[in-house]
Every structure is written in structure tokens, then in C-alpha cells.
Amino acid sequence: MSKKDLYEVLGVDRSATPDQIKKAYRKKAIEFHPDKNPGDKVAEDKFKEAAEAYEILGDADKKARYDQYGHAAFDGAGGFGGGGHHMNMDDIFSQFGDIFGGAFGGGFGGFGGGGGQRRMKGSNLRIKVKLTLEEIANGVEKKVKVKRKVQAKGVSYKTCSTCNGSGQVMRVTNTILGRMQTSSPCSSCGGTGQIIDSKPAGADAHGMLLEDETVSIKIPAGVVDGMQLKVSGKGNDAPGSNGIPGDLIVAIEEVEHEFLKREGENLHYDLYISFAEAALGTSKEIEAVGGKVRIKLEEGIQSGKILRLKGKGIPSLNSYGSGDLLVHVNVWTPKTLNKDQKQFFEKMLEDPNFVPKPEKTDKSFFEKVKDMFS
């Protein structure tokens, strides 16, 4: 089933500003908020749908990737962010609670922005993963070792005495307009409503230990250098008994291929042949991401000829097929000649067959470049 366009979900144009996107999300969130629609599964799904759209469109980097690649930029079949209905209510209220302002009293554990205990999310971790062109073309599963902060076994928490577990402290100030009451996250517990009661030896002040964990990452075919993928829940743990872990952000780094040059979904290969091979025709075995490919060169082939091998490039991240492999034919001119070779070419200087006679079908350099990018 095709996924909805995120701009349509929030009801905004693609040219919408960050403020317009935020206002549109708040409007949808209030309309379909669970407190306003108790027991309504359809409203709950729409509430989650809007939150998932805002998770991407509300972030400049994610929005740019979505604009370029669509849902495929986040769908890596391995838990990457941006897919359909992957967020739960805890995720939504912990990440976007401030969006709701004072509209609701903080249902689902008091996550709303109107006050109440705040559920903490752990910090994200970032790593780089190097991929060869073959791995990018085929997709790959990588196992990486990351150092994560995890809650130590045996750590216990108690209610924060400063805020009495609410996670908020109230302040009353006198202004020219009268007495004003404001609330802010408790500085003692960071808004969680809990502080450490006891912790085992070796744990830090937040009850955390640094541990190695091997994480499996499924990377889809067609990713590009610099793209970031998200593995949910594989970042650092959050303090407190009701915290949720952060995410692991995976930055893709493409390893340069020895022979093939990438340009979007197309690949380029420089093939050098001799005068004799160009004149007589030949067959050559060349590199491709799926293994070696043999191609035939007709006799009389010209230097600068571009041969297009359909579907031998990189698969589209949006599953729209694959790019092509463009083979650039270069006739190699020998730099040194012996006496007999020189005499041969001197005799050919006036030979009609050696006089350049470009035909209308022999395209110019600029026409070849135009074809290459079309």
C-alpha cells in the first residue's frame, strides 16, 4: 500500500515555512488528540500519522532528504525512521510535547506540555558506515559495534522531593499586571520527577554504564554518500524508570571505486583501446557492479563514443528501476613509435581511409554530453 504524502497529511504546500509546518501539525494534533477523542482508533491513527509527518518535515535535514527521495529515504527495512506508524504515544509526547502548549492536561503518563512529569529520551549516537559501490548497488546488512550508555542493573529511583514527582516547579512573580504563575522543568530531576535512590558500583551519577553492543543495520540499495539513516532505540538510555532510549544515527560514506565513477544512479567507465582495435573491432571485458561484463566494439569505432548498458547502474532508492552504465571509448594514441611504425603512419598520411570524414551520425562532444545526462 502506498504511503501518504507527508505534506498532504499536514495539509501544507511543499513551499511551507517551518512555522507554517509547526502550526499545521499543532492544529492536526489538537484535532485528533486522544484526550479529545477517547477510544477513537481512527483519530489515534491520524494523531500518530501527523506526528510522523512532523518528525520529518519539522527537521530541516530530514525534510531535504524527503523532498529528494520521498519515503524511500527513511524506509530501509531495518527500523529506520520515517516509515508508517512506527511511533508510539510515548515517542510523540516525549518529542513533541511542547507543541501542544496548555491545550491538554498531559494524558498518557503526563507527557503533554501543560505540565506534569516529563518522560526523558536518551541522547542520540552517531556513527559512519563505509560502503563499497557493490554494497550500495545490492543493499547490505552491516553489524557495527557501538558504545551505549545503558541503565546499570540494580539502579533504583525515588520521587524527587523538590517537585514531588510532578517534574515541574511553579513560580509566582509580581508584575505590573499582577501576580503571574509560571511552571518550568524541575532542575533537580530534569523534569523526570525522579532522582537516583541507589546505584551499583561503577555507575555514573545518572546510574549509567558504558557498554559495547553489536547492532545490525539493514541498508537499502541506492543510498548516497552523506545520507543519514536512523535505527530507533539504539542510542543512549535515558535516566529514570520511565525513560526511552535515543536513536542511532548512521551516516553513509561511499568508498571510491577503482574504475567506476558514480553520478546519481548512473555509472561511468573509461575504456581505452588501441588504434588497431578501433579499426578492426574487438570485444572487451569491463568492470560492472554485478561483476565483469563483455561488450563488443564494432570496427571503425570512434574515440569519444559512449556505449550505454541499460540497467547496469545503481538501483533507485525509490524503487524506480536502476541507472545505466556508460562506457566511454577512448582510442589510445601511442607516445613512441619505432622506425617501421613511423614509416607506416607516414605512408597513411595521404591515404583516403585515414583522412577524417565525420558523418552526420557522429555526434559532437556537446551532443554526447547532452545525451549522457538525458
Contact, 280 vs 273, CB < 8 A? Answer: no
pLDDT single digits (tens) 63-104: 888 888 888 777 643 334 444 445 655 555 555 544 544 444
Say if residues 224 and 73 touch (Cβ distance below 8 Å). Answer: no
The H or E element that residue 53 is part of is: helix 41-57
Residue pLDDT, tens place only, 165-215: 888 888 887 766 667 777 788 888 877 888 889 999 999 988 999 999 999
User: Is residue 226's pLDDT more than 60?
Assistant: yes
Q: Note the pLDDT tens digit of each residue in 288-337.
A: 998 999 999 999 999 999 999 999 999 988 767 899 999 999 999 999 99
What CA–CA distance (Å, rounded) separates 263 from 306?
15
What pLDDT is recorded for position 333? 92
Angle, alpha carbons 318-319-321 (nearest 5°): 120
- Between CA 288 and CA 291, with CA 289 as vertex, the angle to 5 degrees is 65
The secondary structure element, H or E, covering residue 96 is helix 89-96
| pTM of the predicted model over 0.85 | no
SS3 call for 133: helix
Q: Which residue in the block uniquely carries the three cell numbers 543493499? A: 139
Q: State the pLDDT at residue 371.
A: 60
pLDDT in tens, 44-56: 889 889 998 998 9
Q: Residue 228: is its pLDDT beyond 80?
A: yes
- So what's the pLDDT on residue 187? 86
Spatial neighbors of 355 by CB under 8 A, at least 6 apart, are none
What confidence tier does 273 reach under pLDDT thresholds 50, 70, 90? very high
Q: What whole-number percentage of the chain has pLDDT above 70?
A: 82
User: What is the pLDDT at residue 91?
Assistant: 57
What are the C-alpha distances in Å from 317 to residues 132, 134, 321, 363? 16, 15, 9, 32
pLDDT tens digits along 106-165 = 333 333 444 445 567 899 999 999 999 999 999 999 999 999 999 999 999 999 999 888
Q: pLDDT value at position 109?
A: 34
Average pLDDT over residues 334-345: 92
Give SS3 for 146. strand
Contact 235, 126 (CB under 8 A): no
- The per-residue pLDDT for 150 is 95
Task: Give the residue from 239, 227, 236 showing the smallest Cα distance to 80.
Answer: 227
pLDDT over threshold 80, residue 360: no
